[in-house]
Amino acid sequence: PYRVLITGGARSGKSAEAERRLAAWPEVLYVATAGPVPPDDADWAARVAAHRTRRPAHWTTLETADLPPLLRADGPPLLIDCLTLWLTAHLGEEPPAGEWPAGLRELVAAWRDTRRHVIAVTNEAGSGIVPATALGRRFRDALGRINAAVAAESDEVWHVVAGIPTRLR
């Protein structure tokens, strides 16, 4: 097993970096966590299409936010794109005071225990402005906690800025 976390800002090149790292593998399972594209969102559809176009034709794509079973199973390398969108699907979980949501604990445990080669992409949202809404601050804080927890269990952590990857660990 080998776990790599790649973080960076929006449009920083983090997904392309993750894809580049697995391009030579004969088989890759690309896990898209965004779910279906809303029919009225042309911008999002264009982003998804750009990602699809970049991927090698021999990769398999699975659209799901249910990551722990994939991390626990044996199989080809996983490219998870991305943990930020995974959080969007799980943000409604309300943990007891002072605790992490069960879904986050399960994700981190599965990441730590995986027997697969896996690369996860995530956004770095904590370096920007303070969100104006309580929900925005909750999202930013939760993403920071997820990133820190997954990074702590990773073999490598990279930060991509302006298309340039820098190894953090």
Show the domains of the chain with their CATH numbers: 2-167 (3.40.50.300)
Mean pLDDT of 45-73: 88
Q: CA-CA distance, 49 to 45, in Å (whole number)?
A: 6
**Residue 159 known to be catalytic:** no
Q: CA-CA distance, 113 to 48, in Å (whole number)?
A: 30
pLDDT tens digits for range 104-161: 889 999 999 999 999 999 999 878 778 899 888 888 888 998 999 999 999 999 999 9
Structure tokens at 4: 């790599």
pLDDT tens digits for range 12-44: 999 999 999 999 999 999 999 987 777 888 887
Asked if pLDDT for residue 86 goes beyond 60, the answer is yes
pLDDT tens digits for range 87-107: 888 776 665 555 667 788 899
Tokens 């920007």 appear where?
Answer: 128
Q: What is the pTM of this model?
A: 0.90
Mean pLDDT of 37-60: 82
Structure tokens at 138: 């909750």
pLDDT of residue 16: 93
The single residue of 51, 90, 117, 159 carrying the catalytic annotation is 51
Give the containing element (helix H, strand E) for 118: strand 117-123
pLDDT of residue 95: 57
Mean pLDDT of 52-65: 88
